[in-house]
Amino acid sequence: MRVISGTQKGIPLKAVPGNSTRPTTDKVKEAIFNMIGPYFSDGLGLDLYAGSGGLGIEALSRGFSKMIFVDRDMKAIQTVKANLAACRFSEQSEVYRNDAERALKAVAKRGLVFDAIFLDPPYKKQQLERLLKRIVEQKLLAQRGFIVCEHGSTDTLSEEIDGLQQVRMETYGIIRVSIFKWGKE
């Protein structure tokens, strides 16, 4: 696992110890950023099931100015912090140990609006559509923002969820990536 492109291209990333976390492969990460970017100038992002932090770190390397990383597993939090330090992104990042629902409430209370939200929950505990509804309810996505959902290839998300439109869906083996943006209002 490594940073694929941008300012920190090639820096290796540590994986979370054990097998409670499934890292996004370099191939899938590169495909995601080819769909959404591939490069950015500024922006605030949220990596909600951060794991090792690979998606959020990739976004920082490709031009995002700040990223908030959230995971409920302490080993994941330690790994994110180590990877951020290795990439020299600690100053551009906030890292929190929390579950997804409470994290969304916390960032909503702060009045934050994100340009990108990465959702990569454990495949067996799919809650993506409910999380997408919460993001809409709490007005957490910028008008030109996007949400990247990584899920099992056998799971199909609704094409429209409370004003969010699925604009792209690609399958890579057992992994499916769905991208949502605001639909026409």
pLDDT tens-digit map of 134-143: 999 999 999 9
71 within 8 A of 79, measured Cβ to Cβ:
no
Domain 26-182, CATH among 3.30.70.270, 3.30.1490.190, 3.40.50.150, 3.90.230.10: 3.40.50.150
Handedness of CA 22, 23, 26, 28 (dihedral sign): positive
pLDDT tens-digit map of 54-98: 999 999 999 999 999 999 999 999 999 999 999 999 999 999 999
Residue 123: what pLDDT?
62
Q: Count CB neighbours of 183 within 10 A.
A: 14
The dihedrals phi and psi of 114, each to the nearest 5 degrees, come to -105, 145
User: Which residues in the chain show pLDDT less than 70?
Assistant: 20-22, 123-126, 184-185
10 Å CB burial of residue 12 (0-12, 13-18, 19+) is exposed
Strand partners, 179: 148, 168
For residue 95, the SS3 value is strand
Domain boundaries, the chain: 26-182
Strand partners, 164: 161, 182
C-alpha 167/C-alpha 17 separation (Å) is: 34
What's the predicted TM-score (pTM) here? 0.94
Residue 124: what pLDDT?
58
